[in-house]
């Protein structure tokens, strides 16, 4: 299992365009992927789940990835989240 703690730096958080980018990327992997905030579990393969998660700029999140392509998926998702810009 890959597990990483991150802070969302994008000024609009994970809404609209960033949510679509994240869902598109996560959908390419077979692994089970979850994002956790202080009080929410998010399925990042779903744009609606991401947007409903209320992830704003400065929100700490925990990413978990488990499955056959977990290393590749984890690295790609971390890179995307750390480099999101509007």
DSSP 3-state assignment of 62? strand
Residue from 4, 9, 12, 15 carrying the catalytic annotation:
15
What is the rounded CA–CA span in Å between residue 58 and residue 75?
Answer: 20
What are the angstrom distances between the C-alpha of 69 and each of 1, 2, 30, 42?
Answer: 10, 10, 7, 19
50 is catalytic: no
- What residues are labeled active site? 15
């Amino acid at each position: 299992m890959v597990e990483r703690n991150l802070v969302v730096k994008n000024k609009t958080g994970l809404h609209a365009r960033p949510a679509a980018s994240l869902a598109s990327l996560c959908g390419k992997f077979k692994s089970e992927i979850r994002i956790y905030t202080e009080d929410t579990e998010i399925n990042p393969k779903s744009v609606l789940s991401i947007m409903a998660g209320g992830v704003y700029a400065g929100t700490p999140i925990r990413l978990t990835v488990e499955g056959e392509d977990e290393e590749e998926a984890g690295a790609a998702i971390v890179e995307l989240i750390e480099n999101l810009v509007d």
